[in-house]
Structure 1
C-alpha cells in the first residue's frame, strides 16, 4: 500500500489536517495515536459500529437455541405431572434468557475481534514507534499522482515530518 505518512506533535494540527484531507478526498486515512482521543473520532466521522449486529444475531440464535434445547429435553424425557403439558414455554423462558445472554455476549466479543482485525500478525504500513510515545501520525493511502497535494496539506498544518511510504 502506497501513501504519505506525517508525524504531528500537536493534537489540534493533526485534527485540522484530517478535516482538510477528508474535505478534499485525497485518500483513505489511518490515524495513529498514543491514547484514544475523541477529537480524532469527530474529525474522521466514522459510522456507528457493526458490533451490535453480531450481538443481535447472537442473542436471537441464543434464545432460539435455549427454548429448543429445553423443549427437546422435555419431549425426549417427559415428566408427566397431573395432565399438564409436557413442554410449557413459561418455565423455559429462564433457560432461553440465560442462553441468549451467553451467546449474545460471546458473539459480541467475536464481533469486536473480527471487525477490529485482531490479532494483527504483521505491523501496519506507516506505523512508527514514536506514535506510541506522544506523537500523532496520519497515513494517507493515495495514488502517487496525489502525493504532492497530500504532502502540501500536511506540511501546511504543521507536520513535524512528512515522507512517502510503501
Structure 2
C-alpha cells in the first residue's frame, strides 16, 4: 500500500520533532549542568535554583492525560462515523495530528534526558515506563493517518462496523492504558 503524501509529510515532521526535542533537551541539560558547575558565583545565576529535572521525567512519561485523550478520540471517531460531517472529521484529524506531534516532542525530551543521564551518571536506559506513551503515540499516529474518520468513510457501509468498534474500543483503551 503506497503511503500518501500527507502521511509522508507527517512522518517527516515527527522525525524532525523527535530529533529536535531530543537534541534541545540534551543541550538544555548540559547548559544547566555547566551553570551549576561553573556559574554559581555569578550574581544572576547563583540566585536561580538551577537543577536538572529528574523528577519531571517519570511524571511526563507516566502521564495518563494522553491515554485519556486517545480513548476519548477513538470513541469520538466512532461517533463521528455514524453521522456525516466534514467539520467533525477535520477537527478529529487536526487534533490527532497535533497530539501526535506533542507526544513525539515528549518522547524526544525523554530520549534526550535519558542520553544525558547515561552520559553524565551512567544510568541505564529504562523505557518500560514509556510503554503507555508509546502505545498512545501509535494510536494517535494511526488515527491521524490510516484510520482517520475521512479515510474510514471511504469503506462504504463498513464504516458503521468501524464506528461500533471505535465506540466500544474507546472505553477499553481508557481501562487498558
TM-score (norm 1): 0.28
Higher relative contact order (CA 8 A, sep 6+): 1
TM-score (norm 2): 0.27
Greater C-alpha Rg: 1
Q: Which of the pair is proportionally richer in helix?
A: 2
